[in-house]
């Protein structure tokens, strides 16, 4: 024992235990009395806490026995750490690719965009002076086969010969873009995405009609380097030249068309790449030079802000889900530590009898736990670091530029820190509880299952670690409010789950006596001292609750998109109806669909430039209201209050009103922007700034997909402004055949009018929701997987006690079938209670998200309830029986002799 470093412990034990103690001295005879011997000055220190060095030696020797009992612990740490590291590494890879390849993604150093009008001569001269310029135009329109037998909505893009300034356009077959778009024999060329060829049944060399002109398809568009900066596409891409667009006669005053000017800055002072500060300075100067231009200016350092925001938000969500898995795994850490310490009670008893202080015992096993946690974290970080390398190929279809696959220390460091904090926070309390149990209790073969709280220093240490974890989560979050709500929800779920577990035990304790022996044993097991009920409910409940919440949200969103929404939505939207076409267009619709309800309103587009005279700052408003300030908004004017407008504040203006510009604002969006009656909103429309006073606020039902606008102005506010019209056609009785006839009739008679079939748009949105939902469900399955691991660990931790119970019962005559039935009842009742909690919590959370945040109707889905109930019962009963099967097969004699 002296070789192991126990000399000081032995002397301390002799002084404390008296003359008949021989533990640690290597002798069996009594020790003679002798006068006190003077001790060295440092003997007092040696007799106390042996210190960190000895604790490290003992911990290292204990670890030689392997990871028995810690496999669930390590698996939980690996699962959560790998998820957080992988998600954040992929997010950094994607945002890094967007940032490093900003010029290619934007197609320029600076990009100027104006809606519904082209730039003026002075504005174009200013842009040309900055460097090389490529002009273009974007709009949605209809493309028709040459024989007019079929048509499709397309995202039309017109470019000049200078395009692209950065990157390269990929065509199949390979040829210069200018050659593919050039005019031959009086026919302009075009290139299109392969999906348009497939949709219209066309091949290279075939012709199609766009607007008033016919085009020859000369190549398939395989790569559009700056497609990411163009935004989400609802239809296939069709690319023409600017002269081809003019021939199609689609660019008319008031048309919904976006003009863009990409600028490659001229090099200065031998510096080819402009700095971020230079780009932002030039953008600010351009806005100051033309304050009424109403143009949007983007720089290459922020080539795709919408995508970057979505990546950050989605990565934050997945990080929180990974953290949920890690925190759920923390319960497994606590269970594993408790079971491990319970198996070490003889060793701990020996250490304490040799004079080891409680804090020394805690230190020895804390070092072991942290070492095992570090091993799990390293493995998890290795998996997380490999995820970007594995995901790079799949992400190539999302990012048209290659992401730089590398190790991301910040992401790995964050995951590692989260893993260590969780391991420490959930391990220190059971370790502290073990350290304060006296050696005599341990020698009586009593473990640590009896419960009780650790001393306050250990509880304070756990609370401090959790506080640091929460602070880091909020500090690193893209939206601190979302992170805060998540943390509060997790804390509430843990508290409620603990209360549910205690409530189940309380009910079991007060249950009436039943005649069935297995059921009576099951009820007793649920509430007996050291029962697994709280651990099982806590481990499984959070994962199931998260899965129920996400499943209910996903199902309700799909139902809203593909179920009730199409019943209320119009059949068609018609865009870019010119003023001279309006009467003839209405007459045609009356002939094609006499029973349909047709609504038409004037349509302009404008950008909010000021609120109450102050500069617009989208980052200063809540995230849910920022969309109103980003980009251009649809605008309209009405003399009389629309039928679908319900005023909540203020009054509508008189029909003959001619005073200062007034606007009716959507009440919900006004609240998010901090606006009220009497406030002013400045909007840039066609290069002219109009400042209007809010006259009233109204409720808007966006989910109806009827004609709705955030802002409706009085007619005199836009007097003389060129504009187009927007129309909807609603006919619930029209089927696919009738809709096809309407679409062909409108397209043939008015080729410049864009027809959007609402069901097609809903199908695209449904596919997008399905893809996101699949990713979300996969993330939720991660948390559920951690819950199942923790459940298995909790059951394994109680196997020692169950072995003793099973042997006693078998000795008293209980059969294996009786014990199996009892365990089935026990696990089934606990699983049922957990499922009920998961259903209640998930239903409440999904109702809040859908009704309170998304403002959508909520319906509880019983199929999900049944699936959750089955999953909980299968998990608890199945894993419980698997874990106790070995216990039931043990021989009574051997166990009784060892007891």
Span between the terminal Cα atoms of the chain, in Å: 27
Distance CA 641, CA 660 (A): 18
Bigger pLDDT: 345 or 374? Answer: 374
Task: Centre a 10 Å sphere on the Cβ of residue 506 and count the other Cβ atoms it contains.
Answer: 12
Per-residue burial over 393-422, b if 16 or more Cβ lie within 10 Å, else e, is: eebeeebbbebebeebeebbebbbbbbbbb
Q: Is the pLDDT of residue 5 over 50?
A: no
Amino acid 40: pLDDT: 40
Q: How far is CA 703 from the centre of its chain?
A: 23
Q: How far is CA 62 from the centre of its chain?
A: 41
Question: Residues 6 or more apart from 62 whose CB is under 8 A from it?
Answer: 344, 347, 364, 365, 368
Amino acid 239: pLDDT: 95
Distance CA 422, CA 475 (A): 17
Amino acid 48: pLDDT: 42
Handedness of CA 407, 410, 413, 414 (dihedral sign): negative
Selection from 39-48, 288-297, 661-670 with the highest mean pLDDT: 661-670
- pLDDT tens profile 470-511: 888 888 877 777 788 778 878 888 888 888 888 888 988 888
Q: Is the pLDDT of residue 653 over 50?
A: yes
Q: Is the pLDDT of residue 797 over 70?
A: no
Distance CA 822, CA 128 (A): 84
Distance CA 578, CA 563 (A): 34
Amino acid 774: pLDDT: 66
* Structure token digits, residue 732: 């619930």
Contact 776, 554 (CB under 8 A): yes
Amino acid 522: pLDDT: 83
Helices (H) and strands (E) in the chain, counts: 29, 22
DSSP result, 684-703:
EETTEEEEEEEEEEEE--GG
Distance CA 64, CA 56 (A): 13
- pLDDT tens profile 7-23: 444 444 444 444 334 33
- pLDDT tens profile 846-869: 887 777 666 667 788 888 777 777
What are the extents of the domains in the chain? Answer: 1-48, 51-101+306-478, 108-302, 479-511+523-566+759-899, 567-758
Contact 171, 177 (CB under 8 A): yes
Task: Centre a 10 Å sphere on the Cβ of residue 281 and count the other Cβ atoms it contains.
Answer: 13
Selection from 49-63, 323-337, 713-727 with the highest mean pLDDT: 713-727
Amino acid 309: pLDDT: 66
User: Phi and psi dihedrals of 88, rounded to 5?
Assistant: -70, -35
Please compute the mean of the pLDDT values over residues 350-361 and round it to a whole number: 79
DSSP 119: P
Amino acid 849: pLDDT: 75
- pLDDT tens profile 683-708: 888 778 889 999 999 988 765 566 77
Q: Provide the 3-class DSSP secondary structure of residue 95.
A: helix
Query: Using only C-alpha atoms, what is the Rg of the chain?
Result: 36
Bigger pLDDT: 478 or 365? Answer: 365
Contact 881, 828 (CB under 8 A): no
- pLDDT tens profile 214-267: 999 999 998 888 887 776 667 889 999 999 999 998 887 767 788 999 999 876
By C-alpha distance, which of 263, 261, 262, 221 is closest to 240? Answer: 221
Amino acid 19: pLDDT: 39
Amino acid 381: pLDDT: 92
Q: Is the pLDDT of residue 348 over 90?
A: no
* H or E element, residue 134: strand 131-145
Amino acid 53: pLDDT: 82
Bigger pLDDT: 587 or 7? Answer: 587
Ramachandran class of 795: left when φ > 0, alpha when ψ lies in -120 to 50, beta otherwise = alpha
Q: Which residue has the tokens 């849910």?
A: 624
Selection from 180-184, 304-308, 559-563, 631-635 with the highest mean pLDDT: 180-184
* H or E element, residue 607: strand 597-611
Distance CA 375, CA 74 (A): 8
Please compute the mean of the pLDDT values over residues 785-800 and round it to a whole number: 66
| Alpha-carbon dihedral angle through residues 59, 62, 64, 67, given to the nearest 10 degrees | -100
Q: Is the pLDDT of residue 26 over 50?
A: no
- pLDDT tens profile 110-133: 899 888 788 889 999 999 999 899
Strands (DSSP E) along 791-839, which ranges?
A: none
Amino acid 245: pLDDT: 92
Q: Is the pLDDT of residue 339 over 60?
A: yes
């Amino acid at each position: 024992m002296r070789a192991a470093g126990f000399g000081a412990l032995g002397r301390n034990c002799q002084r404390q235990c008296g003359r008949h103690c021989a533990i640690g001295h290597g002798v069996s005879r009594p020790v003679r009395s002798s006068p006190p011997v003077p001790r060295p000055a440092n003997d007092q220190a040696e007799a106390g806490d042996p210190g960190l060095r000895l604790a490290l030696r003992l911990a290292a020797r204990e670890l030689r026995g392997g990871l028995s009992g810690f496999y669930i612990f390590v698996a939980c740490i690996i699962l959560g750490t790998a998820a957080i590291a992988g998600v954040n590494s992929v997010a950094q890879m994607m945002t890094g690719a967007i940032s490093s390849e900003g010029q290619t993604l934007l197609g320029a150093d600076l990009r100027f965009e104006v809606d519904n009008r082209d730039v003026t001569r002075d504005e174009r001269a200013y842009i040309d002076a900055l460097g090389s310029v490529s002009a273009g135009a974007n709009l949605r329109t209809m493309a028709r086969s040459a024989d007019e037998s079929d048509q499709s909505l397309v995202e039309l893009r017109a470019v000049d010969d200078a395009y692209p300034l950065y990157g390269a356009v990929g065509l199949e077959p390979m040829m210069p873009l200018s050659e593919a778009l050039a005019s031959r024999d009086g026919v302009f060329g075009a290139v299109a995405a392969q999906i348009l060829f497939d949709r219209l049944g066309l091949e290279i060399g075939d012709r199609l009609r766009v607007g008033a002109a016919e085009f020859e398809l000369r190549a398939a568009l395989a790569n559009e380097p700056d497609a990411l900066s163009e935004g989400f596409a609802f239809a296939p891409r069709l690319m023409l030249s600017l002269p081809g667009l003019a021939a199609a006669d689609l660019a008319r005053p008031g048309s919904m068309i976006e003009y863009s000017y990409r600028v490659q800055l001229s090099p200065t002072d031998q510096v080819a790449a402009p700095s971020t500060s230079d780009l932002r300075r030039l953008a600010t100067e351009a806005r100051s030079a033309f304050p009424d231009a109403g143009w949007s200016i983007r720089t290459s350092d922020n080539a795709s802000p919408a995508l970057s925001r979505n990546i950050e938000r989605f990565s934050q969500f997945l990080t929180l889900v990974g953290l949920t898995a890690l925190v759920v795994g923390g319960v497994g850490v606590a269970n594993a530590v408790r079971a491990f310490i319970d198996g070490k009670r003889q060793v701990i008893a020996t250490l304490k009898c040799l004079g080891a202080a409680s804090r020394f015992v805690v230190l020895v096993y804390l070092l072991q736990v942290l070492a095992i946690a570090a091993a799990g974290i390293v493995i998890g970080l290795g998996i997380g670091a490999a995820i970007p390398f594995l995901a790079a190929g799949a992400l190539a279809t999302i990012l048209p530029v290659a992401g730089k696959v590398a190790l991301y220390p910040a992401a790995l460091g964050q995951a590692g820190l989260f893993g260590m904090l969780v391991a420490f926070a959930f391990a220190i309390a059971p370790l502290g509880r073990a350290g304060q149990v006296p050696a005599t209790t341990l020698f009586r073969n009593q473990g640590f299952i009896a419960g009780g709280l650790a001393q306050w220093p250990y509880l304070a240490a756990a609370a401090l670690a959790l506080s640091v974890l929460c602070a880091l989560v909020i500090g690193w979050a893209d939206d601190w409010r979302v992170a805060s709500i998540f943390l509060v929800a997790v804390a509430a779920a843990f508290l409620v789950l603990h209360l549910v577990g205690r409530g189940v035990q309380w009910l079991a304790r007060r249950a009436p006596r039943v005649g069935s022996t297995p059921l009576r044993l099951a009820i007793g097991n649920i509430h007996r001292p050291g029962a697994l009920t709280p651990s099982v409910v806590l481990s499984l409940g959070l994962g199931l609750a998260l899965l129920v919440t996400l499943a209910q949200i996903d199902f309700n969103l799909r139902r809203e998109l593909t179920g009730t929404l199409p019943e209320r939505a119009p059949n068609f939207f018609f865009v870019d109806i010119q003023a001279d076409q309006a009467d003839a267009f209405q007459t045609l619709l009356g002939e094609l669909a006499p029973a349909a309800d047709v609504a038409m309103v004037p349509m302009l587009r404008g950008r909010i430039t000021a609120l109450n005279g102050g500069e617009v700052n989208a980052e200063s408003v809540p995230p849910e209201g920022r969309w109103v300030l980003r980009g251009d908004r649809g605008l309209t004017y009405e003399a009389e209050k629309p039928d679908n407008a319900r005023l909540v504040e203020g009054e509508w203006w008189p029909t003959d009103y001619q005073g200062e510009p007034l606007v009716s604002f959507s009440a919900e969006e006004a609240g998010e922007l901090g606006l009220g009656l009497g406030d002013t909103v400045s909007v840039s429309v066609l290069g002219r700034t109009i400042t209007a006073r809010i006259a009233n606020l109204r409720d808007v039902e966006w989910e109806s997909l009827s004609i709705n606008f955030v802002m409706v102005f009085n007619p005199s506010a836009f007097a003389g402004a060129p504009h187009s019209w927007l129309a909807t056609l609603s006919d619930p009785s029209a089927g696919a055949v009738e809709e096809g006839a309407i679409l062909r009739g409108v397209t043939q008679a008015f080729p410049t009018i864009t027809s959007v079939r609402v069901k097609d748009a809903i199908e695209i949105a449904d596919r997008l929701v399905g893809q996101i939902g699949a990713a979300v469900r996969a993330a939720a399955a991660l948390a559920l997987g951690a819950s199942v691991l923790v459940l298995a660990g909790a059951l394994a931790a109680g196997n020692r006690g169950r072995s003793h119970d099973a042997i006693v019962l078998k000795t008293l005559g209980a059969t294996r079938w009786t014990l199996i039935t009892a365990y089935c009842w026990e696990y089934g009742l606990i699983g049922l209670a957990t499922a009920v909690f998961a259903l209640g919590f998930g239903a409440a959370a999904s109702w809040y998200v859908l009704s309170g945040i998304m403002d959508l109707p909520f319906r509880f889905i019983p199929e999900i309830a049944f699936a959750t109930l089955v999953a909980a019962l299968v998990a608890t009963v199945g894993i419980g029986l698997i874990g106790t099967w070995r216990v039931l097969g043990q021989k009574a004699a051997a166990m009784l002799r060892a007891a």
